[in-house]
Amino acid sequence: MQYQIWRDDLLQLAKQAVVYGLEYKSVLPVNLTDYPNELQQQRACFVTLNIDKQLRGCIGSLQAHQALVMDIAKNAYSAAFSDPRFPPVSKPELEQLSYHISILNPAELMTFTSQEDLLQQIRPKIDGLILQYQNFRGTFLPSVWESLTTREQFLAHLNVKAGLPADFWHDDTQIWRYTTEMIE
C-alpha cells in the first residue's frame, strides 16, 4: 500500500502519457525532479487500459530497470500504441479509457517437484506468475485471477500465453511468482 498515497498522480501520469503519445507519437518525457524520491526508485510495473471493463491494451516490465514514473509513462504509451493484440488507441477512445497500474514486487523463483506440487503452492488472487520453458515465456498478473479462478485454469492459460499447449508440462519449466500493488 505504499504507493496508494500517490494514486491520483500515478494515474494522471499514465493518462498524460497516452494523450501525449496520441499527439506527438512518442513517449511522454518525464522530469524525475517533479516527483518524490519514492517514485524515482527503480520499480517494474504494468499499465493496463480497459474500455467498458474490456482489455484495450496491457504492457509492462517484469524487472525494475528505470524509475517507476518513467516505467509508467513508457508502459502507458506502449499499452496504448504498441500492444500487438490491438490497433493503436484513437482520439475518440481517450475519454472511454480506464487506467490500471500494477507495481510489481520482485519475483521469486519457485521450487517444486511436480506440476501437482506447483499447483498446491500457487496462491490464487495473490500470485502473479512468470512461466519459462526454453524460449517460451509468459506472465499473468494477479488481476487475471478475476477471470481465471482455478489454479489449473490459470496455469493452462499461462501455458497458452507463453506459446505452449494448454496441457504442457516439463520438469525443466521454471516458474517465478510475484505480487503487485494495484493502482486504479
For 30, other C-beta atoms within 10 Å of its C-beta total 21
163 vs 177: CA distance, rounded Å: 19
CATH number of this structure's domain 108-179, picked from the four choices 3.40.1110.10, 1.10.760.10, 3.40.50.970, 3.30.1490.150 = 3.30.1490.150
Task: Output the 3-class SS for 14-27.
Answer: HHHHHHHHHHHCCC
Nearest C-alpha neighbor of 63 from the set 83, 46, 84: 46
DSSP-assigned states of every residue in 86-126: SPPPPGGGGGGEEEEEEEEPPPEE---SSHHHHHHH--TTT
Cα radius of gyration (the chain): 17
AA letter at 120 = Q
Q: Which residues of the chain have pLDDT under 50?
A: none
pLDDT single digits (tens) 67-97: 999 999 999 999 999 999 999 999 999 999 9
Quick one: pLDDT at residue 1? 65
Q: Where are the domains of the chain?
A: 4-104, 108-179
* Contact predicate 92/161, CB 8 Å: no
Q: What is the pTM of this model?
A: 0.93
Quick one: pLDDT at residue 154? 98
Q: Which fold would CATH assign to domain 4-104?
A: Glycoprotein, Type 4 Pilin (3.30.700)
Q: Who contacts 110 (Cβ-Cβ below 8 Å, separation ≥6)?
A: 118, 121, 175, 176, 177
Fold match flag (4-104 vs 108-179): no
Quick one: pLDDT at residue 56? 97
Per DSSP, the three-state class of 170 is coil
89 vs 70: CA distance, rounded Å: 20
Nearest C-alpha neighbor of 97 from the set 76, 82, 83: 76
Backbone angles phi, psi at 119, to 5 degrees: -60, -35
Percent of the chain at pLDDT exceeding 70 = 99
Quick one: pLDDT at residue 20? 98
pLDDT single digits (tens) 155-174: 999 999 999 999 999 999 99
Quick one: pLDDT at residue 117? 98
Quick one: pLDDT at residue 32? 97
Quick one: pLDDT at residue 50? 97
* Contact predicate 169/115, CB 8 Å: yes
